[in-house]
Amino acid sequence: MLDYKRRTLRELEEGGGLAKNGANLKGVKDDLEMVREQVNSLEQHLKSREDVLAGLLREIEEERAKR
């Protein structure tokens, strides 16, 4: 999902996607802002999940070291 949104954002920023199809400027601007927000949210979610994973991996290694 994140890769898809990043690709969509890049297309909008480069004038592709909806902008290329002749959408009005206001609509493209709104779409661009919405996709930026979605990408930021997805990146934050990914970071939080990576942090949880790192914590779990540390716990696993600590348990293994105890044995």
pLDDT at 27: 80
Question: What is residue 17's three-state secondary structure?
Answer: helix
Q: Are 12 and 35 in contact (CB under 8 A)?
A: yes
pTM of structure: 0.66
Spatial separation of the C-alpha atoms in residues 34 and 8, rounded to whole Å: 11
pLDDT surpassing 60 at residue 20? no
Q: Are 42 and 49 in contact (CB under 8 A)?
A: no
- Per-residue confidence band for 48, with pLDDT thresholds at 50, 70 and 90: very high
38-42 own/partner pairs: CB under 8 Å, 24+ apart: 38/5, 39/2, 39/5, 39/6, 39/9, 42/1, 42/2, 42/5
- Per-residue confidence band for 51, with pLDDT thresholds at 50, 70 and 90: very high
